[in-house]
Amino acid sequence: MNTSVEKNVIELSDDSFDKSIKEGIVLVDFWAAWCAPCRMQGPILDEVAQAVGDKAVIGKINVDYNRSAASRYNVMSIPTLILFKDGKPVNQFVGVQSKETLTNYINNLSH
């Protein structure tokens, strides 16, 4: 994983998950290091984080090490991205998503 590229994306864990999604708009990427599409999604998430600025928090959670959150939201394939607003899931995306798709959903939620 190249964390220097993904500088605006926070790493989540089962321990920090609930607190991280509790308030505001949060986009969470459920991923794993061995997943090629997940590695493609990473740089796109950094672009999304830069594009939306303070409107949303962008986070990643590695499903190999954090199974609790993934099972709670029935994540069966990765990458799965879930968009939360004030702790509640409002959209779920499976597979690699474009910057435009994700920023549009976030911008629509923030109005």
Residue 5 known to be catalytic: no
Residues 6+ apart with CB under 8 A from 94: 77, 79, 80
Specify the residue for token string 């590229």: 5
**Half-sphere CA count of 12, side-chain side, radius 13 A:** 25
Token representation of residue 79: 């990458």
Active-site position among 35, 51, 94, 109: 35
Is the Cα torsion angle 58, 23, 111, 91 positive or negative in sign? positive
Active-site position among 9, 27, 28, 38: 38
Residue 35 known to be catalytic: yes
Residues labelled as active-site residues: 35, 38
